[in-house]
Amino acid sequence: GTGSFHESFNMAATLKLPVIFVCSINLYAQMTPKSVHIAIENVADRAAGYAAPGVTIDGNDVELVYEEVAKAVKHCRAGKGPYLIEGKTYRHYGHFIGDPCNYRPAGELEEWMKKDPIVLYEKKLIKEGVLDEKGVQAVKADCLKMVNEAVGYARKSPQPEVAELYKDILA
């Protein structure tokens, strides 16, 4: 990790700040495999050095991520300081537009696409009878509508004043 992570985590731990650190670890830093630049298997293990909880989870399991974030929120709201969540996942696209991704082993992307969190959750909801295919399409349409409305609103809105950036930070 970079110095800014360690400095920030140390400060949050020392002052018992309610900060949830989330590391979405996707096997690569730009084009460098994780194994080349991180000496430990689980980044969340670093939290112990600051006397804070750190957990490593499957970042592709939607419900597990939700549950772990809920635990972290409870921990922080109780005044116990920071919490580190490492979600193991995969970067489906290159590091930049036009990235040829020639640093990935053959077949790696295809294997990880089978573990895509949206696809996995859709299958789970269908299997459990929560949604059918029509319901899945309706959710996707609603989400696309919300995103388009949010983008439209943002594009029409004026830039915020600098003072506005510091309001309600801990709300």
Length of the chain: 171
Residues near 27 by Cβ (< 8 Å), separated by ≥ 6? 33, 34, 90, 91
Strand locations in 9-147 (E): 20-25, 28-29, 32-33, 54-58, 83-88
CA distance readout (Å), 109 to 26, 43, 53, 86? 12, 22, 31, 21
Neighbours of 58 (CB within 10 A): 15
pLDDT tens column, 113-169: 999 999 999 999 999 999 999 999 999 999 999 999 999 999 999 998 888 888 776
- pLDDT of 171 higher than 60: no
What gap in Å lies between CA 141 and CA 66, rounded to an integer? 23
- pLDDT of 66 higher than 60: yes
pLDDT tens column, 98-114: 888 888 999 989 999 99
